[in-house]
Amino acid sequence: MKVKKFTAATSRDALRKVREALGPDAVILSNRPVDGQVEILALDNDDVASLAAPAVDSEMAQPKPNLQLQHLEDLAPAPAPAAAPAFLSRRLQDAAPAAPIAPAYAEPAPTYAERRAPAAEPAIDMSAMTSMMSAAISQAKESAAAEMNGMMSEIRAMRGLMETQLAELSWNATAQREPQKATVLREMLAAGFSATLARFLIEKMPATKDAAEAMRWVKSVLTRNLTTIGNEDALLEQGGVYALVGPTGVGKTTTTAKLAARCVMRHGPDKLALITTDAYRIGGHEQLRIYGKILGVMVHSVKDEADLRIALKELRNKHTVLIDTIGMSQRDHMVAEQVAMLSGSGADVKRLLCLNSTSTNETLNEVVRAYQGSGLHGAIMTKMDEAASIGGVLDVVIRQKLNLHYISNGQRVPEDLHVADRAMLVDRAFRNRGNAAADADLPLMMAAAQSAAAREVNLG
């Protein structure tokens, strides 16, 4: 038996050498790559037949080696092409050797089926796979949402920039074509009115070439839309329960004392009752008690809704009841509780909101929204003597459709309390005005202002 070795660059070339040297029935013993080439060990078919002959039974007979015969196509590193030569398929059943007896120390050689069987795949944890997929999907959704939010923010920013630039261009063209509108805008902004209301009135202004005529039209519109009681006789004669509400330091206690003095002068001290809910500030209720002692009126102190119900029930025979509430910031959550306490007292409590004339337009709008509740009966302007301009508070009263009852312009009781006169207030707003806005700032202000007021005014 002679084993021959064949080497070539590819398996195809090596197999061709085997066929040429040993014939188409040669037996391939091994096939492996060596130094970049393919090495094949082959045996002649005649030598295989001699090995397959039956052995003589004797005590000295040795087991023949178990030669694992392989086909040429089994040892090729790459699958044979479709047009493989016919000599690659051989029949070995005629020359199959008898089953050899393996030595005691030798491991049984793996069979062809065992060698060809695929390796067992590891078990897949479906729960872990599901959790991984869920986490990946959640992360993808979050990433997509973040990208979408960023894109929408950029789009809104671009839109705002374009609207601002277009509004500036439009206002510049309008100011050049109608200079009286620029004059009216400067006057209104200097008086303290908001750019929103000023823009609305300018857009609705009738065509005119005279700035003075335009100002008269603006004043008439503002006066028409400023609601006041005009005469306090109806209020004092009607009577009822009134609660003065508003932020801290707006002057509710002093205003309550002024109204109490007017009621006492009209109906006497027996027809009036005072109630304070200010048990929070140190000595807060003592100030009202001093006013009540001077006027000869009893002052009752309540802490909660139950006390208020009892007090109002006991004072139902009084002509007028004035309630001085505790002051708190418009951003305090207790404002809603105070409004609910007054609304659920069992009596028809009319709330009068005290507006500080020195506050800004934005602050006053927050105050109105916080104390609005189910509806305000009216408003009182306080600290008018301390305000540089009153256009801001008039702007809020007009846009929020509040009924202005009184204006307070000092600390004297009861002299510094007056019935609101709308014509006088509008005229004073334009007389006591601040510095006019620069012409370069007008386009930017008009661009930042909304196209219409929060509540459109009545143009008449």
Same domain, 239 and 112: no
Residue where a domain terminates, one of 97, 116, 135: 116
Q: CA dist 363 to 28, 367, 392, 446, Å?
A: 99, 6, 10, 21
Residue where a domain terminates, one of 116, 151, 181: 116
Scored b (16 or more CB within 10 A) or e, 343-374 reads eebebebbbbbbbbbbbebebbbbbbebbebe
**CA 221 to mean position of chain CA atoms:** 39
- For position 240, which CATH number holds? 3.40.50.300
Q: CA dist 373 to 171, 189, 277, 331, 353, Å?
A: 38, 30, 18, 14, 11
- Whether residue 53 lies inside any domain: the answer is yes
| Cα–Cα distance for residue pair 432/76, rounded to 1 Å | 105
Same domain, 253 and 112: no
| Cα–Cα distance for residue pair 131/125, rounded to 1 Å | 10
pLDDT (tens digit per residue) in 92-109: 344 444 444 444 444 555
Angle at 93 between CA 91 and CA 95, to 5 degrees: 95
Same domain, 243 and 111: no
Q: CA dist 90 to 40, 70, 85, 114, 324, Å?
A: 17, 10, 11, 21, 115
Q: What is the pLDDT along the chain (460 residues), one digit of tens a residue?
A: 678 888 888 888 888 888 888 888 788 878 888 888 888 888 777 776 666 555 444 444 444 444 444 444 444 444 444 444 444 344 334 444 444 444 444 455 555 555 555 555 556 677 888 888 888 888 888 889 988 988 898 888 888 777 766 766 666 666 666 777 778 888 888 888 888 888 888 888 887 777 788 888 888 999 988 888 878 887 888 888 899 998 988 888 889 899 999 899 888 889 899 988 876 665 566 778 888 888 888 888 888 888 888 888 888 888 899 988 888 888 888 888 888 888 877 788 888 999 999 888 889 988 998 888 778 888 999 998 888 888 889 999 998 889 999 999 888 888 889 988 888 999 888 887 665 555 555 555 565 565 444 455 666 5
| Cα–Cα distance for residue pair 419/410, rounded to 1 Å | 14
Same domain, 245 and 108: no
Same domain, 391 and 263: yes
Number of domains in the chain: 2
DSSP label of 57: P
Residue where a domain terminates, one of 66, 85, 116: 116
- Residue written as tokens 């091994």? 30
Same domain, 248 and 384: yes
DSSP label of 70: B
Give pLDDT, residue 51: 62
284 CB-near residues (< 8 Å, 6+ apart): 253, 276, 278, 326
- Whether residue 188 lies inside any domain: the answer is no
Give pLDDT, residue 436: 56
- Whether residue 435 lies inside any domain: the answer is no
Q: Count of H helices and E strands in the chain?
A: 17, 12
- Whether residue 165 lies inside any domain: the answer is no
Give pLDDT, residue 60: 43
- Residue 105 lies in domain: 3-116
pLDDT (tens digit per residue) in 406-460: 999 888 888 889 988 888 999 888 887 665 555 555 555 565 565 444 455 666 5
343 CB-near residues (< 8 Å, 6+ apart): 349, 373, 374
- Whether residue 193 lies inside any domain: the answer is no
Secondary structure class of 228 (helix, strand, coil):
strand
Torsion of CA 65, 69, 74, 80, to 10 degrees: 140
Give pLDDT, residue 449: 60
Do the Cβ atoms of 243 and 342 come closer than 8 Å?
yes
Give pLDDT, residue 57: 45
Angle at 359 between CA 326 and CA 260, to 5 degrees: 45
